């Protein structure tokens, strides 16, 4: 799970490019500080989070809450292979993992 594999970066999604650049900048800043000053900085970033108080509105939510709502409303059981390659993590689980990383680091 750690560190995430390097992925080839293509064009950034137009509606999300500022967020993507900020994430990439944080990773690079840690790398450069570590190289230049001998620090051991780490950039911890979540994947797609979902959880309590999430927005499940079908027209304005992110993909996973919308899917959860659609599954719930349709009472669908997944029977096939999950083909989505995105990673999703519950907000509470993310908090616990991040805390463990910070304590161990």
Task: Tell me the pLDDT tens digit for each residue of 28-71.
Answer: 999 999 999 999 998 887 777 778 888 888 888 888 888 887 77
52: which DSSP letter?
T
Global pTM exceeds 0.85: no
Per-residue pLDDT for 77 more than 70? Answer: no
Per-residue pLDDT for 1 more than 50? Answer: no
pLDDT of residue 44: 83
d(CA 73, CA 67): 10
pLDDT of residue 76: 52
d(CA 56, CA 68): 8
Active-site residue, 94 included:
no
pLDDT of residue 17: 85
Of the CA atoms within 13 Å of residue 78, those in its CB half-sphere come to 10
Burial 84-100 (b: 16+ CB within 10 A, else e): eeeeebeeeebeeeeee
Q: How many residues does the chain have?
A: 105
Catalytic residue among 19, 33, 53, 94: 19
């Amino acid at each position: 799970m750690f560190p995430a594999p390097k992925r080839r970066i293509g064009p950034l999604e137009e509606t999300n490019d500022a967020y993507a650049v900020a994430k990439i900048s944080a990773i690079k800043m840690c790398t450069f500080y570590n190289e230049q000053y001998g620090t051991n900085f780490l950039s911890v970033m979540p994947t797609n989070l979902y959880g309590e108080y999430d927005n499940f509105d079908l027209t304005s939510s992110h993909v996973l809450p919308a899917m959860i709502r659609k599954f719930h409303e349709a009472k669908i059981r997944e029977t096939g292979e999950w083909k989505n390659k995105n990673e999703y993590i519950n907000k509470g689980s993310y908090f616990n993992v991040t805390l463990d990383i910070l304590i161990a680091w």
